[in-house]
Amino acid sequence: MLGLLWIYGLGSLLAVVFGHIGLSASRRTHAAGTGLAIAGLILGYAGLAVAVVLLGLGLLAGLVASTEPPASSGSTAAQVEQTPEPTKSAFRAADYRPLTTRGFDKLVKDPDAYADRQYVIYGEVRQFDAATGNDRFLANTGPVKLQASSGYTDFEQNTELRGTKSRLADVVEGDLFQAYVTVIGSFSYETQMGGSTTVPAFTIDRIKVYGSVK
């Protein structure tokens, strides 16, 4: 557009210049052509006026466009939608607290009050079969690591521990273990004798077998 304005404006300017030259010459020589010179001057000045107006409008439009905020491309929203959810933080043994005998007894007394807390416990796998399933087992547990003596241990607290099939693949009845657990709360189940019992339940975040009563 600037090129067209330049050509248009230059043409109008030349028309004015040559119009003045022609008008002066016709007046000196009294030759015909005065009317044409005047007409050329009128058209030249009109063209210059139009060129100036168009140039001003173009500059104004450019100024307005430069002050407008850039339009959003929509890519930001798409990137936000495609941002993956943060993964669960990596296991850290330091996040799991050991328990004293008294602290363990208080947890057993009211497991629901300790929900979502993380501890280190020890125990003996008491039942891990088709009845429990392959992702959980029943154990006798305690806060201190104990060794088997004559096929027995002194772990006393009946407990349900839940994990995953892959995490518990190498765990069997009679194993002695150390477990990093998160407290679920209390859990009730039917016993083989026909009654029911309520025990503390834990999620196993990591387990290590260190011995067996067998």
pLDDT confidence of residue 136? 98
pLDDT at residue number 75: 47
For 37-89, what is each residue's pLDDT tens digit? 566 556 656 666 666 666 667 666 666 666 655 555 554 444 445 655 555 67
Higher pLDDT, residue 113 or 3: 113
Q: What is the pLDDT of residues 23-38, one digit of tens each?
A: 565 566 655 556 655 6
Q: Of 151, 127, 140, 202, whose CA–CA distance to 177 is shortest?
A: 140
pLDDT bin (cut points 50, 70, 90) of residue 12 is: low
What is the pLDDT of the chain when averaged over all its residues?
Answer: 81
Confidence of residue 194 (pLDDT cuts 50, 70, 90): confident
**Once rounded to an integer, what is the mean pLDDT over residues 83-97?**
78
Long-range pairs of 102-111 with CB within 8 A, sequence gap ≥ 24: 103/143, 104/142, 104/143, 104/157, 107/183, 107/200, 108/157, 108/200, 111/183, 111/184, 111/185, 111/186, 111/200, 111/201
Model confidence at 193, pLDDT cuts 50, 70, 90, reads confident
- pLDDT for the residue 203: 98
pLDDT of residue 77: 47
Query: How is the chain classified by DSSP, letter by letter?
Result: -HHHHHHHHHHHHHHHHHHHHHHHHHHHHT-S-HHHHHHHHHHHHHHHHHHHHHHHHHHHHHHHHHHSPPPP-SHHHHHHHHSPPPPPPPP-GGGSEE--HHHHHHHHH-GGGGTT-EEEEEEEEEE-STTT-TTEEEEEEESS----BTTB----EEEEEE--TTTTTT--TTEEEEEEEEEEEEEEEE-TTS-EEEEEEEEEEEEEEEEE--
How much is the pLDDT for 28? 63
Q: Which of 59-63, 103-107, 196-200 has the lowest mean pLDDT?
A: 59-63
What was the pLDDT predicted at 78?
44
136-142 and 157-162 beta bridge pairing? antiparallel
The reported pLDDT for the residue numbered 110 is: 98
pLDDT category at 190 given cuts 50, 70, 90 is confident
Report the pLDDT value the prediction gives residue 192, as an integer from 0 to 100. Answer: 77
